[in-house]
Amino acid sequence: MSKPVLPGSVIGVLGSGQLGRMFAIAARRMGYRVHTLSPDSDTPTGQVSDEEVIASYDDLDAVRRFARRVQVVTYEFENVPLATAEAAAEVAVVRPAGTVLHTTQQRIREKTFLEKAGLRVAPFRTVYSLDDLRQAIAALGTPAVLKTADFGYDGKGQFRITDPGQAELAWTSLGGKDCVLEAYIDFACEVSVVAARDVFGNFAHYGVIYNEHRNHILDISVAPAQVSPRVAAEAVEAARTVLEKLDVVGVLCVEFFLTQDEKLLINELAPRPHNSGHFTFDACLTSQFEQQLRAVCGLRLGSTDLLRPAAMANLLGDLWQHGEPDWASVCAQPDVKLHLYGKLEARPGRKMGHLTSLAHTAEEALRKVKAAREALATP
């Protein structure tokens, strides 16, 4: 086992969005330096890093040069090409390993892995052609959801099929790419477990988180989720199984559907800190971002104790449609924390920041964070 990467060392981050930004803040607070690589400049991560390298992920020579100047490399989103992670691994430690990236960045591989691991997922069929799609619809029925195998997030790369006659339209709309067809699940709610595993095999988690989506984008998260003890225990054990079987060193989020009869179905895996875990930045002894840092640096995991119940509300670019939001209204509320990501342009549906509210109960935290966000949009 390699020696731990200690404070004062340089951490390399592939990707430069808000997850990297919050990771970099956690790292710099502990005395690490941070370098980030992405094709863009003046990025959320770059604004708080020691060095921002602008290069294509396909420029493998640039990736190798980047990796030579750091002690360990991690990534902040799963669509970093596998070849990029492999090039970095030629000259530096990369955590989580490229094998984790390979499995989780493609839905067919991900769902096949989950099935082989004995974990429940929604009924699905792999689709490589229009004829495959027609057969899959016949097997699963409608409604069903067609999803591209690659590069799908926040509802992108999806088509809901309500009638078998929509097969050709769905196939062409998604570009005739490899897909999976999933049976539509009439779920009671969506929940997630953000968990971590270190180089020693230790496992830690942040409990079950309740999530609400709007237009396929995460809107609200509440911790702890109001689920039965049995469901909570099953969700955590499923997350443990995923991290152990993938041999994850780092943070990974498991997203679930909870059905009306209280069965958990895994929807997606995200091999990095996750939007639904943002509340941990303010509400936990060790945030998911510090936990990622600890894991990839070969340190022991920190305590995940929840200091107070919390709720998180995303701030999308839509809030800017009538001008700059009323930040003073949020800053006047002592139990609400404001996080802005430094993105240069507000666009509808784009994640620009989030609010976190802490309270004595989860219900009170949810009420406060919703009220705070509504006040932001008041003309």
pLDDT of residue 377: 81
Q: Among the ranges 179-188, 248-257, 315-324, which has the highest mean pLDDT value? A: 248-257
pLDDT of residue 322: 86
pLDDT at 154 over 60: no
pLDDT at 43 over 90: yes
pLDDT digits (tens, 9 = 90+) for 259-272: 999 999 999 999 99
The C-alpha atoms of residue 293 and residue 290 are separated, in whole angstroms, by 5
pLDDT (average), residues 20-31? 98
Burial of 240 (0-12, 13-18, 19+ CB in 10 A): middle
Q: How far is CA 102 from CA 93, 131, 363, in A?
A: 17, 27, 39
pLDDT digits (tens, 9 = 90+) for 70-93: 999 999 988 899 999 999 999 999
pLDDT digits (tens, 9 = 90+) for 290-337: 999 999 999 999 999 999 999 999 999 999 988 899 999 999 999 999
pLDDT (average), residues 103-131? 95
The C-alpha atoms of residue 175 and residue 87 are separated, in whole angstroms, by 30
User: What pTM, to 2 d.p., does this model score?
Assistant: 0.95
Q: How sure is the predictor about 155, in pLDDT bands with cuts at 50, 70 and 90?
A: low
Q: Which long-range contacts (CB under 8 A, 24 or more apart) does 154-161 make?
A: 154/216, 154/217, 154/218, 154/349, 155/215, 155/216, 155/217, 156/216, 158/216, 160/184, 161/137
The C-alpha atoms of residue 72 and residue 58 are separated, in whole angstroms, by 20
Report the SS3 class of residue 207: strand
pLDDT digits (tens, 9 = 90+) for 321-379: 888 999 999 999 999 999 999 999 999 999 999 999 999 999 999 999 999 999 998 65
The C-alpha atoms of residue 254 and residue 374 are separated, in whole angstroms, by 29
pLDDT at 152 over 70: no
Give the distance, in angstroms, between the CA of residue 104 and the centroid of all CA atoms in the same chain. 11
pLDDT (average), residues 25-52? 98
The C-alpha atoms of residue 147 and residue 41 are separated, in whole angstroms, by 31
Please check whether the domain covering 123-183 is classified as CATH 3.30.1490.20: yes
- What is the second-level CATH architecture of the domain 10-94? 3-Layer(aba) Sandwich (3.40)
Residue carrying the six token digits 């002894």: 285
Indicate the average pLDDT of the chain: 95
What is the identity of the amino acid at 213? H
Q: How sure is the predictor about 2, in pLDDT bands with cuts at 50, 70 and 90?
A: confident
Structure tokens at 16: 């430069």
Instruction: Give Dmax (Cα) for the chain.
Output: 60
The C-alpha atoms of residue 163 and residue 125 are separated, in whole angstroms, by 17
Listed by start position, the domains of the chain span 10-94, 123-183, 187-376
Q: Which fold has domain 187-376?
A: D-amino Acid Aminotransferase; Chain A, domain 1 (3.30.470)
